[in-house]
Chains A and B, each alone.
Chain A
């Protein structure tokens, strides 16, 4: 099972939006609506930001949104803030196993 493909980096100015893609296959992203997104600040554990493609856990700002089309999922961060600068990983259930994305470093300019 190969890692899901994410762009290595993305950036935007404060207040702008940034969208990160996560491309898998018909065996993972394309087959299940169990795509999650995690935010990870340096030296910290990942934090769940989106689950089941577009659901937000309690406490996650509504600036974070998710979607999916075919084998590709996306995370959009609207109204970028300085604290959004972090690494972001997607993950997909793939039938009795999970696969993570390659990770995207988001920089707030």
Chain B
């Protein structure tokens, strides 16, 4: 069974850097994504990364986001810098279906990150 688990600090100071890691077990894929959901609001795609390391970013976040992958450790990561209160959200990591362009056939449980001093 494919499992994804997010980890990282639950509290980040304004202007700081949000760093999260997603550990993957039980399955592989070509593409992996990060998605976030502010409290009480909808889903927002942040970025995706290919197992080769090539990444694509949401244009609205591109200047602040970096995604990386470590195949040897079966994990991928997200860094979001210059955070503000607007970045407070539940952050999910998700796997893409192996064929086609569908994100989220498997999801992590999500981790709440609060931006506050």
Contacts and interface: CB of A to CB of B under 8 A. Distances in A.
B102 A99 contact: no
Contacts of B58: 1, 97
B11 to A, nearest CB: 20
A98 B42 contact: no
Given A34-B100, A52-B102, A98-B103, A45 B43 contact: no
A108 interface: no
Contact of B105 (A57, A93, A96, A98): A57
A108 B108 CA distance: 27
Size category, A interface: 20 to 34
A3 B100 CA distance: 21
Interface string A58-95: 00000000000000000000000000000001010100
Given A96-B56, A97-B59, A45 B42 contact: no
Given A51-B100, A51-B102, A99 B107 contact: no
Nearest to B42: A103
Closest 6 CB pairs of A and B: A45-B107, A93-B101, A51-B102, A98-B45, A34-B101, A103-B42
Interface of B: 33, 35, 42-45, 48, 56-60, 92, 97, 100-105, 107-110
